[in-house]
Structure 1
């Protein structure tokens, strides 16, 4: 069997293009798998992790280490500042442009990430949403300030249970977006997540990585402990003056802001980070399991079995 490390020498303009998308919950081992596959296929990696875009956020986002980044070429890691306004639509545009360049010389490219909406933006394209009443968002922002995120979450749960269970519910921007579409249209936000897949110049093979829930939770808890040991509190403290930025309203950062402002003690914050990350992992799995074509593997699966499944899918 010829490996793609050899096949890559063939004129890529005559070959089909394949994007290998690696998905799964946080702390499951997606980064390690992506590097192994990138090395095997002699290719590069596109990151679709929306928190790892920002250069000021490294420890708390579990961004690839310098060693990992040196093991294979990566794109969309720390390429933005937390002060940049970078949307999923902008990422779709940038990622497709990058893929177009990579596919000129490589028949296979790897994409890895736990941000389901960003993965779907590349593989399927963004859904078309209706025009919204511009007066709705200011009202929702005011409610966020006066009543807190929980009030908006409760409102969304009443209007659209499916969206409540699948979107990044701890991200106020996402919650407000879902609410303004639901309120303005009179239809659930999730009902608009059904548009036809956009035409792409490549085929996608999605590899899901998972494990028993207990193991996933153990990995998450251990990762948080390592983050704290590696200096997460110092990283967050340096960002405290900019805590209002949307990029920083995310797990690990918002809990430690409460510590630094004297509202919580560190032990309680760590327990909340672990709890909220476990909830995030559950939502990630709910999102990714919607794709019935995903090839799922246990995190302990031998890499050769994963490669064999990919090559069989390419030949199919």
Structure 2
């Protein structure tokens, strides 16, 4: 029998976790998280990770299994995730994967491109430039060396910009030249389910979620991580804005408004990424679970 990975995608705050749990319970299976922010055990409130009751409702993998101080790449996730799937498929015909990190989803479903090894000192040097001259300087450098990557990667993410630049500099070739359209062969079939809604609804859900995070104690969570704010894992929406407040650069009200704004921008980028997959079956976020299950059955 063909083994099937059900990949649940969509913008943040759309209801992916709730759907994945319902599907896991229906198919008596387990869930792999492909949300790169939920990997870190110190980042619970600000990543909207599954609650203890949700974690108890279905077996989850890759939730709070790393520390912000750990070095953990999307390549590591691909290797571990495929190994885990091989194990799970020995006893399960269907496994659920859920997450809004498009690159991590693609790493499992399609595989990553192979990049050359580069001198580690290049990354160290670029990180120093980031500290002293800011991300704008690195963005301009990438625009000169690889205009295609400048237009396509998450240009506001320093980790992504530095990764592209170190490949450009180390290989003397554009980062984009290593990207291929060839997918790796997988031993399972993937059915991708996308959740969406009208933009105003998505934005409203995001704003309410941020308010809930603040009410649940996000500021205290961030305060506990202030001494580690230079780490890549913490350069993420919800944390970097509150660090600005804690560093007396911004007022709290402004920091919260920036979290909402940046999360809305992130949701827009997520939808752009996921819409590239023309094989995705899209559902309104309020679609009844029975309809989703029926659709899955038709495409297995």
TM-score, normalised to structure 1, is 0.89
Which of 285, 308, 311 is matched with 2:271 structurally? 285
Is 1:53 matched up with 2:39?
yes
2:211 counterpart of 1:258: no
When residues 201 and 78 of structure 1 are mapped into structure 2, their CA distance, relative to the original with a 3 A threshold, is same
Q: Quote the residue 2:211 is aligned against.
A: 225
Structural mapping, 1:130-149, within 5 Å: 130-132=116-118, 136-149=122-135
The CA deviation string for residues 195-240 of structure 1, in whole angstroms up to 9 with x for no partner, is 4211211111111111111111111111111000000000000111
Aligned length: 300
- Secondary structure at 2:95's aligned position in 1? strand
Quote how far apart the aligned CAs of 1:93 are: 1.3
**Structure 1 residues 33 and 232: CA distance shift in structure 2, 3 A:** same
**Alignment match, 1:116:** 102
The answer to which of 170-179 and 52-61 deviates more is 170-179
Q: Where does structure 1 lack aligned partners over 5 or more consecutive residues?
A: 1-14
Return the TM-score normalized by structure 2: 0.94
2:221 to 235, 249, 260: 235
Q: For 1:35, which of 14, 21, 24 is the aligned residue? A: 21
Question: How big is the shift at 1:185?
Answer: 4.5
- Corresponding residue SS for 2:7: strand
> 2:68 — aligned with what?
82
Deviation at 1:181, TM superposition (A): 2.3
Listed as ranges, the gaps of 5+ residues in structure 2 are none
In the TM superposition, residue 134 of structure 1 has moved relative to its aligned partner by 5.4
Could you tell me how far apart the structure 2 residues matched to 1:152 and 1:23 are? 30
Return 277-286 or 127-136, whichever deviates more. Answer: 127-136
Q: Choose from 201, 211, 226 the match for 1:215.
A: 201
Report 1:174-193 matches (<5 A): 174-185=160-171, 187-193=173-179
Question: Is residue 173 from structure 1 mapped to residue 159 from structure 2 by the alignment?
Answer: yes
Deviations along 1:98-156, whole A, 9 cap, x unmatched?
11111111100000001111111111111112344656434422321121123223443
Counterpart secondary structure, 1:204: strand
What residue is the counterpart of 1:12 in the other structure? none
In the aligned structure 2, how far is the partner of 1:148 from the partner of 1:305? 48
